[in-house]
Amino acid sequence: MSSLFSQLGVNWKLLLAQGVNFLIILTVLTVFVYRPLLKIVEERKKRIEFGLKGAEEADRILKEIDDVKKEKLSEAEKKALEIITLSEKEAAKKAVAIVTVSEKKAEGILKEASEVAKKKRTEELDNVKKEAEHLIKEALIKTVELSPRQVDENLIGRALEFLGKKA
């Protein structure tokens, strides 16, 4: 057996040396390459998964925000339409009210104006009456100031004159 090993060049020292050589490589590669590399790959995988999940979450949130935005916009449109309709109705009501009030005011003004005119006329009439009274009074005073005999004579004269003409 040892002759066969010798013929094939098998030597326990060389066997040991080759084995140790391999074990050194195995140890160094395990410590410096496989473990750190697998750790990094795992870490990267986790980060990518986290990133993808984050992106999905962000997409979902964006979609939700978009939906909420659309909902709010449609709500706002509805509200705006309601407000406009309400405002138009109120405006119409107010217009009617304003017209009614204006008409009433106009009527009032007209009434006032006619009353003022009436009053003025009455005042003018009163003034005319007062003036007439005054004139009559003046005329009576002047008449009274004349001597009754002269007046009578005058009156008799006029009467006679009238009668003469008639005759």
Partner 1 sequence: MAEISIKAEKLFEIWGFPVTNALVLAVISALIILALAFLLKRQLRMIPGKFQGFFEFILDELLSLMDSVLPSRQISEKYLPIIATIFIFIMLSNWLGLLPGVGAINFLSVHPAPLLRSPASDLNFTIALGIISILSVNLLGIGAIGLTKHFSKFFTVKSPINSFVGILEFISEFVKIISFSFRLFGNVFAGEVLLTIVGFLVPYFLPLPFLALELFVGFIQAFIFSMLTLVFIAMAVQEPAH
Residues contributing to the site for partner 1 (CB under 8 A): 7-11, 13-19, 21-26, 28-30, 32-34, 36-38, 40-41, 43-44, 47
* Of 25 and 160, CB closest to partner 1: 25
For residue 147, the tally of other CB atoms under 10 A from its CB is 9
Gap between the Cα atoms of 143 and 148, Å rounded: 9
Minimal distance, residue 54 CB to partner 1, in Å: 17
Place of tokens 């100031």: 145
* Of 44 and 111, CB closest to partner 1: 44
* Of 26 and 92, CB closest to partner 1: 26
Minimal distance, residue 72 CB to partner 1, in Å: 42
Tokens in use for 123?
């005042």
- In angstroms, the Cα distances linking 95 to 20, 100, 104, 113 are 107, 8, 14, 26
* Of 13 and 166, CB closest to partner 1: 13
Minimal distance, residue 58 CB to partner 1, in Å: 22
151 Cβ partners below 8 Å, 6+ apart?
143
* Of 47 and 104, CB closest to partner 1: 47
Minimal distance, residue 13 CB to partner 1, in Å: 6
Question: 83-106: buried (b, 16+ CB within 10 Å) or exposed (e) per residue?
Answer: eeeeeeeeeeeeeeeeeeeeeeee
Minimal distance, residue 52 CB to partner 1, in Å: 16
Tokens in use for 48?
């990518």
Tokens in use for 46?
């986790």
